[in-house]
Protein backbone atom coordinates (compact mmCIF):
# COMPACT_ATOMS: atom_id res chain seq x y z
CA UNK A 1 0.00 0.00 0.00
CA UNK A 2 2.87 2.38 0.85
CA UNK A 3 4.50 1.98 -2.58
CA UNK A 4 1.18 2.55 -4.35
CA UNK A 5 0.65 5.84 -2.47
CA UNK A 6 4.16 7.05 -3.24
CA UNK A 7 3.73 6.14 -6.91
CA UNK A 8 0.48 8.09 -7.12
CA UNK A 9 1.88 11.11 -5.32
CA UNK A 10 4.98 11.16 -7.53
CA UNK A 11 2.77 10.98 -10.62
CA UNK A 12 0.76 13.95 -9.37
CA UNK A 13 3.92 15.96 -8.57
CA UNK A 14 5.24 15.65 -12.13
CA UNK A 15 2.88 18.26 -13.57
CA UNK A 16 4.69 20.56 -15.94
CA UNK A 17 4.07 24.28 -16.09
CA UNK A 18 4.51 25.70 -19.55
CA UNK A 19 6.64 28.79 -19.88
CA UNK A 20 7.67 30.86 -22.84
CA UNK A 21 11.08 30.03 -24.22
CA UNK A 22 13.71 32.72 -24.07
CA UNK A 23 14.61 34.65 -27.20
CA UNK A 24 18.05 33.02 -27.17
CA UNK A 25 16.53 29.53 -27.32
CA UNK A 26 14.15 30.53 -30.14
CA UNK A 27 17.08 32.09 -32.03
CA UNK A 28 19.03 28.84 -31.57
CA UNK A 29 16.13 26.90 -33.11
CA UNK A 30 16.11 29.16 -36.16
CA UNK A 31 19.90 28.99 -36.40
CA UNK A 32 19.83 25.19 -36.46
CA UNK A 33 16.99 25.24 -38.99
CA UNK A 34 18.97 27.54 -41.30
CA UNK A 35 21.96 25.20 -40.92
CA UNK A 36 19.85 22.48 -42.52
CA UNK A 37 18.75 20.42 -39.52
CA UNK A 38 15.25 18.97 -39.59
CA UNK A 39 12.54 19.49 -37.01
CA UNK A 40 13.15 16.15 -35.29
CA UNK A 41 16.90 16.68 -34.98
CA UNK A 42 16.41 20.17 -33.57
CA UNK A 43 13.80 18.84 -31.17
CA UNK A 44 16.12 16.12 -29.87
CA UNK A 45 19.17 18.40 -29.70
CA UNK A 46 17.45 21.12 -27.66
CA UNK A 47 15.03 18.85 -25.78
CA UNK A 48 12.01 20.86 -26.95
CA UNK A 49 8.79 19.34 -28.25
CA UNK A 50 8.37 18.93 -31.99
CA UNK A 51 5.23 21.07 -32.08
CA UNK A 52 7.07 23.92 -30.34
CA UNK A 53 9.88 23.73 -32.91
CA UNK A 54 7.32 23.84 -35.73
CA UNK A 55 5.51 26.84 -34.27
CA UNK A 56 8.76 28.78 -33.70
CA UNK A 57 9.87 28.20 -37.29
CA UNK A 58 6.39 28.97 -38.69
CA UNK A 59 6.31 32.27 -36.79
CA UNK A 60 9.83 33.10 -37.96
CA UNK A 61 8.92 32.42 -41.60
CA UNK A 62 5.69 34.44 -41.38
CA UNK A 63 6.87 37.45 -39.36
CA UNK A 64 10.64 37.31 -39.74
CA UNK A 65 11.22 37.50 -36.00
CA UNK A 66 11.48 35.21 -33.00
CA UNK A 67 10.40 37.89 -30.50
CA UNK A 68 7.22 37.51 -28.50
CA UNK A 69 4.40 39.08 -30.48
CA UNK A 70 1.48 40.86 -28.80
CA UNK A 71 -1.45 38.61 -28.07
CA UNK A 72 -5.06 39.35 -28.70
CA UNK A 73 -7.53 39.80 -25.94
CA UNK A 74 -9.83 42.20 -24.25
CA UNK A 75 -8.40 45.70 -23.99
CA UNK A 76 -7.73 46.90 -20.42
CA UNK A 77 -10.54 48.83 -18.76
CA UNK A 78 -8.11 51.26 -17.17
CA UNK A 79 -5.62 53.34 -19.08
CA UNK A 80 -2.01 53.02 -17.96
CA UNK A 81 -2.06 56.54 -16.56
CA UNK A 82 -5.16 55.83 -14.46
CA UNK A 83 -3.70 52.55 -13.24
CA UNK A 84 -0.58 54.32 -11.88
CA UNK A 85 -2.57 56.66 -9.61
47: alpha, beta or left? (left if phi > 0; alpha if psi -120 to 50): left
Instruction: Tell me if the pTM is above 0.75.
Output: no
pLDDT of residue 51: 95
Domain ranges of the chain: 20-64
pLDDT higher than 70, residue 17: no
pLDDT tens track for 58-70: 999 999 999 988 8
Helix (H, G, I), strand (E, B) or coil at 19: coil
pLDDT of residue 15: 56
Non-local CB neighbours of 43 within 8 Å, separated by 6+ positions: 49, 50, 52, 53
Architecture of the CATH domain 20-64: Orthogonal Bundle (1.10)
Amino acid sequence: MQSLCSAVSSAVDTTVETKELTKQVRDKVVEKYEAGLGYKKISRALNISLSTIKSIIRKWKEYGTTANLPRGGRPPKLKSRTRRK
